[in-house]
A = this chain, B = another copy of it.
Amino acid sequence: MDKRVGFIGLGTMGMPMARNLIKAGFSVTAYNRTSAKAARLAEEGAVKAASPADVAAVNPIIITIVSDTPDVESVVLGRGGVVEGIKPDSVVVDMSTISPEATRNIARLLGERQCHMLDAPVSGGEQGAIDGTLSIMVGGDEAILERCRPALQALGKSIVHVGTSGMGQTVKLMNQILVAGNLNAVVEALMFGKKQGVDLERAIDAVKGGAAGSWQLANLAPRILKRDFRPGFKVGLMQKDLNLIMEAAGSTRLPLPATALVQQMFRSLKAESGDEGTQALVKSLERLSGVEIAS
């Protein structure tokens, strides 16, 4: 088996993912815009490349995980980008969360160069990236996925093929509709209880095992009560994902009234909340209602 993998983007998610590939015996060539991070990874066994094109030139599989649609377009299609180095029949596996439509466009352009693309966004946050337990939703050709599966197995515990190119991104956006909606329900329920004078810890215990239960309730409600706003998943990223959702929904003329409202609540968070965890959403309703939840 060819154990060479290129890796572009060593951020909060990318760095631990690249480390997991190294641990699993893959030979990793890495590029990062801020080169200090690539240098650090080189000390742990990776080869540092000078550009995405250089990464692509020597690897049959190139993983990208950067911030947003323009970043993927830049590292793949831009000057010094993947397309300038990629060999025919290679695969770009984009694990960023970006626009499904932009994904299909990049896949088409790679196809014109006899290359392949999978969109393989993840959920599970920084902890899942560190633990190698991410959920990976894959769009693109299923045979190509099989070729990449060994590498992906070093990164996640659930790898589900969900459809053609762009569908991985679409399912990730479905995931985010659920995450944002469930979290907002947690915030409204807690604030309701607070105003009525309920012991919120007991209330969470009483309801979390039943029909009201969710990952967001079990994991984030206790943090909200402690005002622990350290990030699992950052507000700024959720704001970006909500923009992607509403843009994609708009292009198909689909109204999503509650998601649109939750997007507005996220917009009301101040700039300084951008690096806090999504549970900081509670601050919006606190502001609107003039009441603060405290444990």
Query: Which residues in A have some Cβ–Cβ distance to B below 8 Å?
Result: 100, 123-125, 128, 135, 137, 158, 160-163, 166-167, 170-171, 173-182, 184-186, 188-193, 195-199, 202-203, 205-207, 209-217, 219, 232-233, 243, 245-246, 248-250, 252-265, 267-271, 284-285, 287-291
**Across the A-B interface, the 10 shortest Cβ-Cβ residue pairs:** A181-B185, A214-B214, A178-B212, A160-B206, A255-B264, A177-B189, A255-B268, A195-B252, A174-B189, A175-B212
Of the residues B167, B195, B212, contact of A197 by C-beta under 8 Å: B167
Residue in chain B with minimal CB distance to A180: B185
In whole angstroms, what is the CA distance A216 to B211 when docked?
6
Majority secondary structure, A binding face: helix
Q: When A162-B202, A267-B253, A290-B270 are in contact, do A258 and B210 touch as well, CB less than 8 Å?
A: no
Cβ of B158 and Cβ of A206 under 8 Å apart? yes
Residue in chain B with minimal CB distance to A253: B267
In whole angstroms, what is the CA distance A174 to B211 when docked?
12
Residue with the highest number of chain B CB atoms closer than 10 Å, among A162, A196, A243, A265: A196
Cβ of A182 and Cβ of B181 under 8 Å apart? yes
- Residue pairs across A and B with Cβ atoms less than 8 A apart, 27 shown, are A123-B212, A124-B211, A128-B210, A158-B210, A162-B202, A167-B197, A170-B198, A171-B193, A174-B192, A174-B203, A175-B206, A175-B210, A178-B213, A179-B211, A188-B256, A195-B252, A211-B219, A212-B215, A253-B269, A253-B289, A254-B289, A255-B264, A255-B288, A257-B257, A268-B288, A268-B290, A287-B287
